[in-house]
Structure formats: structure tokens, C-alpha cells
Structure 1
Amino acid sequence: MQTPPLCTDSPIEPTILASWVRALCQTLRGYDVDPDLLMQQCQMDTGLLHVPEARYPTKQVRLLWREAITHTNDPLLGLQMGKEIQAPSLHALGLAMLASANLAELMGLMARYCRILSSTMHMALKHDKKGSALVIKTLGGSEYNHAARIAMLAFVYRQACHLSQHPITPSFVALAIRTTPEQANRLEDYFGVPVTLEAAEDSIGFDYSTTLEPFAGANPMLLSLNEQAIRSYLGKIERMRFADRVLEQIRRTLPEGEPRLGDVAIRLGVSQRTLQRKLSHEQQSFQGLLDLARRQQAEDLLQHSTLPIVEIGYRLGFSDPSNFCRASNRWFGCSPSALRERSRLMAT
């Protein structure tokens, strides 16, 4: 098998949770491949594997994936890892998943907190009239053959079946990779549906009846405790990212009116030009972060408050309710009232 090229165009100092790497190492042992030797080749300290909350540079982990796929000769190594990885390997996020009320809540947790696993990982929920989809991307490139993304989608699907206590069928699975017919059959056998290949993005979807089915193991108290642990840990690692500092300032000033780039720059003690340059270096933009802050606050207020929808729109800086409705359709695939109703159905 020819050694695949390594992508190195990642953002500043991105990192990946050590226990995620430990799960990959365990999968490699099943192939009779010594993960310690591969980690040494990638200049990775094996001693960090069992250090709570330790992290590895993303460049090293992507190199490890390349070497792992080369030595196992399995382009779908990520699928195998997704079959085997245990929920506690995902820090408090995995434990929160086990306590979630339904698949909709589980996918929401992944979308909000996936950065706990990798600071370059981005997950988003997309909704339409038929159901919800979890879309996964990685910033600054990707590991070879999208292996980590496939591992995550395979893991989410396995947890969905496990927590539902019966096999469930996705409405679709789409991957951006190209495979052989044999590999395509492996994917179809695992997910139980034909997998769309060479897609625009890696994603998995479920209809609403599946996402809203209650999990027997739901535990709101345990979920809340683990979310607190997640936020505390993310706070530690995100303080190193300039984009997160900008986002926090936007969130703080949003209730006072639409934040302006110049005002945020003054609060952070930098010039507007420096702010824009630093954000660009992290592949972010001020307008994109403003949109993210609005979306997150809209989702929180619509799902967890009784404020009138018009007032929520005003709080987010939308003087015209129709503009808020258009933004909601772009963010969530539905109107503000539909999202609020959906959250009420989930709660019951």
C-alpha cells in the first residue's frame, strides 16, 4: 500500500484528547500492530496516554493516523475504531452521552462539545422536514481518508443503537471518501443503509421518530454534572485560542446591541487590523463568530425560555422579525416557532 500524503495546513497549536489517541492504539493492537512503535516514529510521548486531560498536537496525531493506516493496510481503520471505542474515552462528553434523553439530545451534545476531542473538529446539526443530520468537518485539513471523522460517525451510530436498546436505521450516511466496492460493502453492512460516497461532507441522518425516541438510561442530573465538567475543561483549552476570546466578548455585548469589530478590539486591547489578522490565522472571521453567537443564543432562548419570539429576535439584533425567521431557517432548517415546538416535544 502506498504511503498517503500528510496534510499539514492545520491552525495554530490545535490539539487532540489523549484518550482518543489511546482508543486508536487499542484498535491497532487488534491488527497486531504495536502502537508504541508508531507513536515513537511520530515523536509522541506514550506516557501521556494515561494522563487525565492530556492532549497531543494535531499534526502528530494526523501523522499517527497515516502510519496506522499504512501498517494495518486498512483504509477503513476509522470504521473499526468507531466500532470499538468506549464512551468514557470521550472524557465527560462520553458520560454525558450515556445519560442523554434521546438521540436528538445526544447529537446536540456532540455538536456543542466535540472540541473537547479535537480543537479542529466541528460538528453541526442540520434539520429538514424529515429529520436531523449530524455533519462533521475538521479545520485545517484532515487525517488520511477522513479516518477520525468516520470513526466518530460510526461511534455515534453505535451509541444510538446501544442506548435505544434495539437496532436503528439511519435515513442516510454520506462520506466524502472514495472506496473500493469491497470497502463500500463494509460500510453498508455496518450502517445498514447504502452509503453515499464522494459526498460534499461527512454526515449521518435520522428521521424525527428515531431522534425523539426516549432512552431508558436518561439521567438529567448526571447529564448536568458532566456538562459542567465539559465546560470547565473546554474553558482551560479554549483560553489559548484568540477566536474564543473574541466570541466570548461578542456574547457579552450582544444583549446591548450588535457588537462592532472596533468595540471588541478595544476590549481585547488590540487594533482592528490585528484582530482580523489573528482571526484569519485561525481560519475565522468576526462576522462568522457574530453569526455563531447569535445562533447559539437563539437556540438557548428558544428552547429554554418563555420569552416571546419577537423579543428574542430583538435581543439578537434583529429589528425585523422576518430577518430573524430567515436566519433561523438558515441555522436550524426551520422557523423559530418550529424549533421551540420541537424542543417541547423532546422534553416530553
Structure 2
Amino acid sequence: MADVVRAAGLRGLPALVTTLGADGDALLSGFGIAPSALESDDAVIPSVAAARALEAAAAACDCGDLGLRLAGQQNASVLGPLAIAIENSPTLGEALDCARRFLFVHSPGLSVAQVPDPESRPGVAGIRYSGATELPPQVADLGLGLLHRVTTLLAGGYGLRSVHLPHPPLAPVGHYTTFFGADVRFDQPAAVLRVPQTLPATPVTGGGNEMLREVALDYMRSHFPAPGLFISARVRHLLARSLGSGPVDLAATARQLRMHPRTLQRRLADEQESFEDLLDDVRRAAAHRLITQTDLPLSQVTAMVSLAEQSALSRASRRWFGLPPRDLRRSSR
């Protein structure tokens, strides 16, 4: 998947930069980031642009703890649908598991995981925040700071033992210890929160709403393919999302995958697949569901499977199922 991050991850940055004496909107625009994108729950931006904007903002404001300050103004809502699953988990362990499995929805290049205590103390575990490549200092501070803030909001004081950061102090050490409320150690191998080993059993404040959690998990499973999938699976996923609402041709799908159409065709061929066959299969599955499980007019079904005319649906239905749509619907009842 492309190395992107939800623009909401920088939510609040322009206003913070402006209060520190610089022009927040102009700074973002200089990196090709529209300030309005930060208020969207769906917009994504290149991860490199986001990291460079954050580092440039810290330099322009002469504010070494900018990442921590921004984290202190944010909450889980910047994570989009993942926030709903996290906030409605019954325990911190299940909230962490949601983050581990679905943080790629926020950015494919980031991960969070429970790890052994880097200091090997009994009764202590680590929660590591990492990237596909080395995290720039402000990105590490923002990410680990947000992880700490969300955990605190979910369960109150959670017994944080100490914090490891993979860079030297960029501001007075007191700024870090005040933010985390714990000892902070610098130039460590990874960004880690050292927490009680019993933390996963800690209940989330309010107990959570299991129905909302499952709805959010189902949404993420169905709308966001996990990194590492075969290209054919990613194409199938994009086509299923675009049927009836957007273009479903090769060029449009290639643009969404940020590759040339010929490259996409070649990679599909490497998997013994073709774009035309995948589109036909996705259409067939959608048409069968809409014809047999709903009472929608066939003209609407035609539009929802991205066919131009109802006669095209009739021909396709005979080819797929051996029956025209009306007979298929009747037989299914």
C-alpha cells in the first residue's frame, strides 16, 4: 500500500503553530497539504509530507516539544473508525489489540505492539510504537504521546513506569517528564511506554459498547484491505467499493493504487488474474446479492453494479446464472 497517513493525524497543527508565532496554514501548504484536509475523517496525505511538515513546524517555531504539545491537544478521534473500536473495547488489552490489528487504517507504515520490557524488570511490559522506517523525532513524540494520552483517557492513571524515546531531548527534559508524568529516557532503540504487565486486564472507563465496537471492526475489515495482500485482492476490494458510486475501469483502479495501468495489468498477470475477470466476478457477486436478497427495482440494480443499461444486466444474468434477473429473483423466493 502507498505510504500515507490520515490527514487528521495533524489535526490542530495549524492553530498550534500560529499560537507559537508562525503561519500554520502556509507551512502546511508549502508541503502540498491542504489545511482543510486535516478536518476530514477520510483524507490521506503522503507520510513523508506529514513528517516533514511536523519537523519544519518545530524548527520554524523553535519548539522542540511540538509533537508532544500537539499530542496533548488530540484524542483518539484522529484515528477515524479505529477510534470507535478502541473506545468501545471492554479492556485496555482488547483496545491495544484493535490498535495492533488495524493501525494500518490510520497509516500502513505505523504499528503498535506489546513487547517484553526493554529493561527486563519483573511485572513490567512494553508498548512499542514504530514505523516501517526510522521515526523522525517529532513523529515519534506525537505518536507515543498520543498513545499515552489515549490510554490515559480510556483508563485514567495506568501506572506508567517510564518512557523510552529513540532520540536525544529536543526540549528541556522537564517538558517530557511533565507530559508523561514519568521518567523519560532518551537515545533508546525504540519508542516504548513501560507499563504494568497487568495493564491489558484494566477495564476501559464506561465499559464500552460491544455493538458499536463490532460495527467499527466489521467496517474496517470490509473497507480497508490489510497491507501485504495480493494485488488481485486489493483490486477486488477497490472494485467492490466503487461499484455504483465511481469509475470501475482499469485506469481509475490503477490511479487508486498509484501505479500505471500497464503495471497493474502485468502484476495481475503474474498472479494469473486479469482486470476484466475480476470486475466480472465482483459484478456477479453484487448482482446476485441485490437480485436475490433485495426488492430493489432492476433498473437500480443495474446502476449499482455499474452497468449502463438494464438489457446489459439481463444478458449478464443469463451468462452468470442461466436465468434472466426476474426469473432469478422469483426462483430465490
TM-score category, normalised to shorter length: 0.5 to 0.7
**Count of aligned residue pairs for this structure pair:** 236
Residue 244 of structure 1: how far off its partner (Å): 2.7
Question: 2:54 maps to which residue?
Answer: 65
Runs of at least 5 residues in structure 2 that lack an aligned partner in the other structure? 235-266, 272-333
Measure the CA separation in 2 of the matches of 1:97 and 1:62.
25
Q: Deviations over 1:107-157 (max 9, x none)?
A: 2222222222222112222146624322122124433x2x22222222222
Give distance in 2, aligned partners of 1:125 and 1:248: 29
Maintained 8 Å contact 1:123/1:134: yes
* Residue 156 (structure 1) aligned with residue 150 (structure 2): no
State the percentage of identical aligned residues.
18
2:244 pairs with 1:244: no
- Give the residue type in structure 2 aligned to 1:142: L
**Preserved CA contact (<8 Å) 1:15 1:118:** yes
- Distance across 2 between alignment mates of 1:172 and 1:37: 37
Counterpart selection for 1:212 from 201, 214, 218: 201
Specify the alignment match of 1:134 in structure 2. 127
Runs of 4+ in structure 1 deviating by more than 6 angstroms, as ranges, are: 246-249
Q: 2:219 aligns with which of 229, 242, 251?
A: 229
State the TM-score, normalizing by the size of structure 2.
0.63
Q: Identify the match of residue 96 of structure 2 among 72, 88, 107.
A: 107
Q: Higher relative CO (CA 8 A, sep ≥ 6), structure 1 or 2?
A: 1
**Letter in structure 2 aligned against 1:232:** S
Cα distance, 1:32 vs structure 2: 4.1
- Cα distance in 2 for partners of 1:108, 1:156 equals 13
Unaligned runs of 5+ in 1: 1-11, 250-266, 272-348
Match of 2:166 among 176, 190, 195: 176
Once residues 231 and 149 of structure 1 are traced to their aligned partners in structure 2, the CA distance between those partners, rounded to angstroms, is 27
Q: Deviations over 1:217-252 (max 9, x none)?
A: 2222111111222233422xx5xx6x3327979xxx
- Computed over aligned residues only, the root mean square deviation of the Cα atoms, in angstroms, reads 2.9
* Range that drifts further, 47-56 or 105-114: 47-56
8 Å CA contact 2:165–2:185 kept in 1: the answer is: yes
Deviations 1:292-312 (CA, angstroms, capped at 9, x unpaired): xxxxxxxxxxxxxxxxxxxxx
1:148 aligned partner, one-letter code: V
Partner Cα separation in structure 2 for residue 92 and residue 19 of structure 1? 12
Q: Describe the shift of the 1:187–1:246 C-alpha distance in structure 2 as closer, same or farther (beyond 3 A).
A: same
CA distance in 2, matches of 1:87, 1:186: 22
Amino acid at match of 1:176: P
CA offset digits 1:91-117 (Å, max 9, x no partner): 011222211222222222222222222
Give the counterpart letter for 1:270 in structure 2: D
**Alignment pair present for 1:21 and 2:10:** yes
Q: Highest Rg: 1 or 2?
A: 2
Cα gap change, 1:185 to 1:247, in 2 (>3 Å): farther
Q: Which has the higher helix share?
A: 1
Q: How far apart, CA to CA, are the structure 2 residues paired with 1:29 and 1:48?
A: 17
